[in-house]
Amino acid sequence: MKKIISAINNAIKKYSMIDDGDKIAVGLSGGKDSLVLLSALSQYQKHAKKKFSLIAITIDQTNGKTDFSPLKDFCKHLGVEYHIENSEIFDVVFEIRKEKNPCSLCAKMRRGILNSTAKKLGCNKVALAHHSDDLIETFFLSLFYEARLSTFLPVTYLSNTNITAIRPLIFATEESIKNASINMPIIKNICPVNHKTKREEIKLFLSNLEEKNPKIKEQILNAIISPERYNLFDKLLK
């Protein structure tokens, strides 16, 4: 966990993610990433110079049919307030809309409910558990399937809700998160398309590259986050 806390400390400082008086909602899905994020932020909070409060929010996509009591106990152990927001996301995506490619709609609905719930609970920021592997994978998803160079930002202001989304795990690898999540109460992902998405194809692509160059992800990450390394056509447009 020390490695994770060091990573979020670097991200918070580099991108000015947290200010005095912030009330931060942590999106707690029950997956390893969000559990590690909440635990790390809870520990970071105890020694941080800037004082802020935390609340964990779980979006129940099955409208009350999922047992989140392990997460409730986890938050109680950390001393973090916990809130469950019921939703009909699964019914809408898989039963009503019968989406063939459900990930985009599902993610959009989850983000919308999380942000509105955070706002309702008095939060001004939402902490999301995207890590460095997610950043790199999103870059290649945009490149391969949207023909554009794009990925998410470490800090994003959402004007429609007056909420700022932050991603404190941006410098943490998925492997380090996996190691830190041992013995945490991970909730099984019940999504029927889990591990069957284009993102999984990108993971395999990167894994194959990594076999030949173990530092490939580190190099890609540095290229993405370091503007001085950009060498694209926009420099010709003046």
pLDDT digits (tens, 9 = 90+) for 45-58: 999 999 999 999 99
- Taking the mean position of all CA atoms in its chain, how far away is CA 176? 15
Mean pLDDT, residues 35-43 taken together: 98
C-alpha pair distances (Å), 128 with each of 86, 109, 219? 19, 15, 24
pLDDT attached to residue 197: 84
Strand runs labelled E in the chain: 23-27, 53-60, 81-86, 125-127, 155-158, 163-166
Averaged pLDDT score across all residues of the chain = 91
Helix (H) / strand (E) containing 141: helix 132-146
Quick count: other Cβ atoms within 10 Å of Cβ 143?
A: 14
C-alpha pair distances (Å), 108 with each of 1, 2, 221? 30, 32, 25
d(CA 172, CA 169): 5
Is 3.40.50.620 the CATH classification of the domain at 2-229? yes
Going by C-alpha positions, the residue among 43, 46, 48 that lies closest to residue 19 is 48
144-178: buried (b, 16+ CB within 10 Å) or exposed (e) per residue? eeeeeeebeebbeeeeebebbbbbbbbbbbbebbe
Q: Are 126 and 112 in contact (CB under 8 A)?
A: no
What is the identity of the amino acid at 10?
N
**pLDDT (tens digit, 9 = 90+) per residue, 63-122?**
888 899 999 999 999 999 999 999 888 778 777 766 667 777 788 888 999 999 999 999
Mean pLDDT, residues 220-228 taken together: 90
Question: Could you tell me the maximum CA-CA distance found in the chain, to the nearest angstrom?
Answer: 57
**pLDDT (tens digit, 9 = 90+) per residue, 130-169?**
999 999 999 999 999 999 999 999 999 999 899 999 999 9
Domain locations in the chain? 2-229
Whether the model clears a pTM of 0.85, i.e. scores above it, the answer is yes
pLDDT attached to residue 100: 67
